[in-house]
A and B are shown apart, each in its own frame.
Chain A
Amino acid sequence: MKIVMAIIKPFKLEEVRDALTAIGVHGLTVTEVRGYGRQKGHTEIYRGSEYAVTFLPKIKIEVAVASDQLAQTIGAIASAAKTGQIGDGKIFVINIDHAVRIRTGEVDAAAL
């Protein structure tokens, strides 16, 4: 079992969700984050004050999948979230030791 964690541009969220639903991945956790990679940010000017805004708003999604669905999931997210412009984001894969569905008590693969 793996958690696929992806940092994506905020406006891409709906597209990514639709792509994951299409491959049978249900269940997603979404967090609003700020960050930067090689995209340096931009300048904002408020009256006379100029600010270099380096931390840009992004969306972090985390989805738990079975290992055999991993490649499909990564592919779906990558193609849905891509714009070709700098700042598209990154995908990370983290290993899960255990999983439990709270309502029923099912564990591991049955919990995903």
Chain B
Amino acid sequence: MTFKRPSLAGWAALATLCAAGFVDSAFAQTAAPPAAAAVVPNKGDTAWMLISSALVLMMSIPGLALFYGGLVRTKNMASVLTQVFAIVSMVGVVWTVYGYSLTFTDGGSMTPWIGGLAKTFMRGINANSTAATFSNGVVIPELTYFVFQMTFAMITPALIVGAFAERIKFSAVMLFVLLWVTFIYFPIAHWVWYVAAPDDVAAAARALAAATDAAAKTAAQAKLDEVTGAVGWLAGAGALDFAGGTVVHINAGIAGLAGALIIGKRIGYRKELMAPHSLAMTMIGASLLWVGWFGFNAGSNLEANGTAALAFVNTMVATAAAALSWLLCEWIFKGKPSLLGICSGAVAGLVAVTPASGFAGPIGAMILGFVVSPVCVFFVSTVKNALGYDDALDVFGVHCIGGIIGALGTGILVNPELGGVGITDYTNISGNNAGTYDLVTQMIAQGKAVGATLLWSGFGSAILYKLVDIVVGLRPSVEKEREGLDITDHGERAYNM
């Protein structure tokens, strides 16, 4: 049984409330523990999770592939498309073999940091295995959880390649991604999203509430501590990340920046014309990303209920607001509103709403969208030009910065007074304030997640780049870069017109 969202003591709080009768739940009806009836997945939940997984795959191919592809020069189009497609394919295999196990199983004493090898090669997973959701007693087939999470593992490394597009060897991309998912993505996903057995936590909390004498209370407390300890360390710290603002976007964004800095600028950067060869393709890609992102965010709810609908709506309004916001920024400050701008705004909005999608209210999400675009505009133009680095497709400026805005914004917008869902179910375990939202406590937890991701991914990726450079070399030769990676890496042209 695995669990994606953090904050176990909140589950304990909810379960306590259930036991005390404040919240109506199915379990409150039975007096004696029933003979354990197997909980079976709901057909609607299962259908939704399978659809969501397909939508997230579509985000990678062709969504991201075309979004990036349209932004590079004609001579590198096939290269970008192939890199994204190959990353998706390779990570699919890696996830099946050991990725899922490392991310979503118990790691013994290492559990706060990484999982174990119990489910490598999908051992023990079959059509009847189940995975927990955020509702007590509701499960989905573990296979749907497995494949849903796989699509996340596929798209995250694919995001990175935009930062050093047009000047990296294909072999370097493949080797780097293999190492990166293993040492950076799987651990961070585990830290934020691994919760061993949320229903066990609820059961332990109920047992604690029902315990009458001191000895029973001590035993029950020990049991509760044991189950709440079996979590990734950021989950335990109370960080809120509904669908992957830290795990996916900040992670990929900082890894992209590290790559752009280590690999260096494209030949002729800022001197030669490197305009996007097809903004039409970029727009198609951005649109597919938006549609697919409903699977990314609303699917992260793991069930088809009101919260999934909330995440869906947030994904719609935040994106619309951010797209409009970027358009207005350009119109006001640059004179002309551009297609690339509105597409970038939409993506920035999608990135920012990702961690907040199941926590914020729609108006909060909309405000988040309006806020993220000006910040990202500032980073992709003023900051990038001032510092002079060649983040070719603005992976840092949109994904990392947008992700940070979103992650920090989540800490603010989850406040019930701002329309958020509040954290009656989720809390900061270390702060032990079950059921109450506290801005400072929450922001500290969010800050830990953001900081940990930036540090582990930033420095870890840098080490991996250096390693790959030694083994296969990162950059193609000057002549090959000039001729174009389509021909030199893949022996073909994207266009033969």
B338 contacts A45, CB within 8 Å? yes
A53 at the interface (CB under 8 A from B): yes
Q: How far is the CA of A53 from the CA of B276 in the complex (A)?
A: 13
Determine if B334 and A47 form an interchain contact, defined as CB atoms under 8 angstroms apart.
no
Contact A46 B385 (CB under 8 A): no
Q: Is the CB of B273 within 8 A of A53?
A: yes
Cα(A22)–Cα(B175), bound, Å: 65
Determine the chain B residues whose CB is within 8 A of the CB of A46 once the complex forms.
71, 275-276, 338, 340
- Whether A51 lies near B274 (C-beta < 8 A) is yes
Indicate if the CB atoms of B382 and A44 lie closer than 8 Å: no
Q: A-B contact count, CB below 8 Å?
A: 29
B 63-98 contacts with A by CB, 8 A: 71
Which DSSP category, helix, strand, loop or mixed, fits chain A's interface? strand
The bracket for how many chain A residues form the interface is: under 10
Q: How large is the interface on B (under 10, 10 to 19, 20 to 34, 35 or more residues)?
A: 10 to 19
**B422: CB under 8 A from chain A?**
no
Determine if A47 and B385 form an interchain contact, defined as CB atoms under 8 angstroms apart: no
Q: Is the CB of B275 within 8 A of A48?
A: no
29 CB-based A-B contacts, threshold 8 Å: A44-B275, A45-B334, A45-B336, A45-B338, A46-B71, A46-B275, A46-B276, A46-B338, A46-B340, A47-B340, A47-B341, A47-B344, A47-B380, A47-B381, A47-B394, A48-B380, A48-B381, A48-B382, A48-B384, A48-B385, A48-B394, A48-B397, A49-B270, A49-B274, A51-B273, A51-B274, A51-B275, A53-B273, A53-B275
Complex interface bits, B379-405 against A, C-beta within 8 A gives 1, otherwise 0: 011101100000000100100000000
Across the interface, which residues of B come within 8 angstroms of A45, CB to CB? 334, 336, 338
CA distance A105 to B84 in the complex (A): 56
CB-CB under 8 A from A47, the residues of chain B are 340-341, 344, 380-381, 394
Distance to closest chain A CB from B273 (angstroms): 5
Q: Which chain B residues border A51 with CB–CB below 8 Å?
A: 273-275
Closest to A44 in B: B275
Chain A 28-57, CB within 8 Å of chain B: the 1/0 string?
A: 000000000000000011111101010000
* B71 contacts across to A, CB distance below 8 A: 46
- Starting from the known contacts A45-B336, A53-B273, 14 additional A-B residue pairs (CB-CB under 8 Å) come to A44-B275, A46-B275, A46-B338, A46-B340, A47-B340, A47-B344, A47-B380, A48-B381, A48-B382, A48-B384, A48-B394, A48-B397, A51-B274, A51-B275
